[in-house]
Amino acid sequence: MDASEKLEIETRLVGVLKSIFDPEIPVNIYDLGLIYSIDVDDDHIAHIIMTLTAPNCPMAEELIEEVKYKTSGTKGVKETDLKLTFSPSWDKSMLSEEAKLELGFL
């Protein structure tokens, strides 16, 4: 896979992730800063590292399953390898400018 194809798939993945909303905050998980990295390898496997706003999030399992399901169904992706991490732990500084505006932090 060449660099432009990789970038195209990763851009599609960002769009998909922006369609997934945290159940408790009216902002998508990408703009919330919950996605730490996205990397698509030559075998078309999307490696995604993400976190949650809180380790004890009651909707964690559903949110993780939604991310796996939607990203695995993205054109150019054969499967998703999703890793959940709490290091570094999420905080408000990870919000995008768009999310800060939406939540009234700007």
pLDDT at 7 over 90: yes
User: Nearest Cα to 31, choosing from 81, 86, 105, 82?
Assistant: 105
Instruction: With cut-offs at 50, 70 and 90, classify the pLDDT of residue 1.
Output: confident
Task: Give the Cα separation of 32 and 76 in Å (integer).
Answer: 25
Write out the CATH class of domain 3-97: alpha beta
Spell out the domain ranges in the chain: 3-97
Q: Give the chain's radius of gyration (CA, Å).
A: 14
pLDDT at 10 over 90: yes
pLDDT of the residue at 78: 97
Mean pLDDT of 63-69: 96
For 14-32, how does the pLDDT look when each residue is reduced to its tens digit (9 = 90+)?
999 999 998 888 899 999 9
